Structures are given as structure tokens and as C-alpha cells.
Amino acid sequence: MKLSGKKALVTGSNQGIGQAIALRLAEEGADVVIDYVTHPETAAETVQGVLKLGRRAVAIKGDLSKVADTQRMVHESVQALGGLDILVNNAGVEKRAPCWEVTEADFDLVLDINLKGAFFATQAFVQHRMEVKQPGKVINLSSVHEDLPFPHFTSYCASKGGMKMMMRNLAIELAPFGITVNNIAPGAIETPINTQLLNDPAKLKALLENIPLARLGQTADVAGVAAFLASADADYITGATIVVDGGLTWNYSEQ
């Protein structure tokens, strides 16, 4: 087991990629805080899943779109597990609209959760690690859209592009403290964020034609990379993005 004795907080871990990461970290020996904002029942299910693996787990409600709530949630996580070694900034939303129709409320929500929330969760985590004078690992769930355009999702792309530079900046700033910071950039993964796409056969077919490995990603494809980045095997990796996209990003061909 790669993560015996480690303690992790995974934001937005009551579903999708976050849930798979929480369970995978537990499989590797970590105790886990399950952060959620809605659907306490799926948070409770995730807690049960971790407990079944013989690790400690607690669900803590925390809304990443609100800085004070995020800070409280991180502090409570530290108290609940008696410390935190690993922070996974997974919580994220996307809103589809042509740029000429985007509302201020939607734009703010996407940036507040995906970028500002991840920053202030990291800040609270780093304050804790500095206080106990211990190293740590920060893993952000970015997207292929930290680099790749995604028409009708400008706020999402801006948040993930911002997350890319936030990660690079923090990697340098936090290296002296032994805290590594990396991004995972998933492509099209079968999760609730993609519900609309999954229910639209024509769109799904077009997307699959763009993926060289010819399938959607599964949450386990991403969770394994998170477990690696959280482990000592990745001690010398910081400031990096690992793309998990079945080849989607670099697929361009002329017929």
C-alpha cells in the first residue's frame, strides 16, 4: 500500500471522479475526508465505502464557492483526522452557454468553485502543513481544457487555464516547504458532469471519434493517477500536469 498512515481531504468526493479518488486513496491505506455540498446520502455512501476498506472516513459539508466555508471545512478536516497530508482539489462545475448569453451569476459560480475555491482550500491546507512543519501533496483536478479551447464553456476554460498557472506558481512557492503541487487533466470521463453529453447519442459519437483510444475514460483511470501523485513515488514531481484523456488532446488528422 502506497499511502499507509496518510490522511487526505478530497473536495467534491460524494460522486464522480472525487468519489473514485477517495476510495482509491483509502485502498492504498489513507484515511479520507469526504467533502460535499449537496446529496449527503452519496457522501454517506462514500464514507461507508472507505470504512469497508478498513480506513477512517468522515463526511464534512463545505461549499467551495464560499471562502469562509472552505476554510472551516479544511480546519474541521484537520481536526477530524488529526492532520492532513494530502489535499485533492476536485470539486468543479461547468456551465454551457454561448459567450454572448453567459450570466454574471454563472460566470462567478464557475470561477468561484473551480479556481478561487481550490486556491483557498490550498491556502488553508498549506497553513496547516507549515504549522506542523511537515511536507504535503496538493493535487488539482484540472481538465484537458486547461490548454484546449472548449467553445461555449469560456468560464470553465478560464477556470482551468487559471488552475494551470496557479499550480505552476504554487509549485515554486511551496517547494521550499516540501509541498508538491500537480494537476491531473482528465479528458472525457463518464461522470455526472457529462450527463447531457452521455444522453445525446450524436454528440457522444462525434466525441468518441476524436478519442484515439475510442472510449470514454472511467473514474478509475483518473483515480490511479491521483494515488500515484499522492504517494512517495511522485516525490520528485511538482509543477506538472498529467493528462488522462485517451489521446484526445493531440488528435488531429486530415482525411
Name the residues that contact ligand BGC, by CB under 6 A: 94, 143-145, 150, 187-188, 193-194, 197
- Partners of 36 in the beta sheet? 61
Q: Answer positive or negative: Cα dihedral of 225, 226, 227, 230.
A: positive
Query: 7-10 and 86-89 as β-strands: parallel, antiparallel, unpaired?
Result: parallel
Closer to ligand BGC at the Cβ: 81 or 222? 222
Q: Would you please indicate which residues are annotated as catalytic (active-site) residues?
A: 156
Nearest-approach distance from CB 153 to ligand BGC, in angstroms: 7
Nearest-approach distance from CB 46 to ligand BGC, in angstroms: 20
For cell 486547461, name the residue.
Answer: 146
Closer to ligand BGC at the Cβ: 13 or 77? 13
Nearest-approach distance from CB 59 to ligand BGC, in angstroms: 24
Nearest-approach distance from CB 95 to ligand BGC, in angstroms: 11
Closer to ligand BGC at the Cβ: 10 or 144? 144
A 10 A CB-CB count for 123 gives: 15
A 10 A CB-CB count for 170 gives: 22
Nearest-approach distance from CB 90 to ligand BGC, in angstroms: 12
Inter-axis angle of helices 118-131 and 154-174, nearest 10: 20
Residues of the chain by 3-state class (helix, strand, coil), percent to 5:
50, 15, 35
Query: In sequence order, which ranges of 32-66 are alpha helices (DSSP H)?
Result: 40-52
Closer to ligand BGC at the Cβ: 4 or 253? 253
Closer to ligand BGC at the Cβ: 109 or 197? 197
Q: Answer positive or negative: Cα dihedral of 247, 165, 223, 14.
A: negative
Q: What gap in Å lies between CA 49 and CA 55, rounded to an integer?
A: 9
On whether the CB atoms of residues 241 and 184 are closer than 8 A, the answer is: yes
